[in-house]
Amino acid sequence: MTTTDKPYVVEYYYKARWGHADEFIQLYKKNHHPVLKKRMEMGHILKLTLTKPRFHATEDGRWDFRVTIAWKDIQVTDEGFSEADLARQLYPNQDMYKKEEQRRFEILKAHWDVPVVEVDLEK
């Protein structure tokens, strides 16, 4: 198996403005999660999980949601696939979709992506 054949895992962190985490996750579930589910059906995504911390953290270390995606391989993340085209198919009312997606990002305080690799503790 070459490096390009291995799953490519990325953790996506979302930090909402105080008091807006519920609104963020509602918009995420409505508009972005179906796009990711469709990509899973297409074989691009092997596994997708969403987690949130049980307790509060300090503001500098706080995040509200972590989405972990195991992509089939690194190529499916940027092989010229257009999520915008897929969103146009899934959401005929593009004005509403764009408005809600803009709102989802307006209420974010921070967002970052962390590609991760497993460490083999037996080597």
Cβ atoms of residues 82 and 38 within 8 Å? no
What residue ranges define each of the domains in the chain, with the CATH number in brackets?
A: 7-116 (3.30.70.100)
Strands (E), the chain: 8-16, 45-51, 65-71, 108-116
Q: What is the pTM of this model?
A: 0.89
Q: How many CB atoms lie within 10 A of CB 79?
A: 9
**15-63 pLDDT, tens digit each:** 999 999 999 999 999 999 999 999 999 999 999 999 999 998 888 899 9
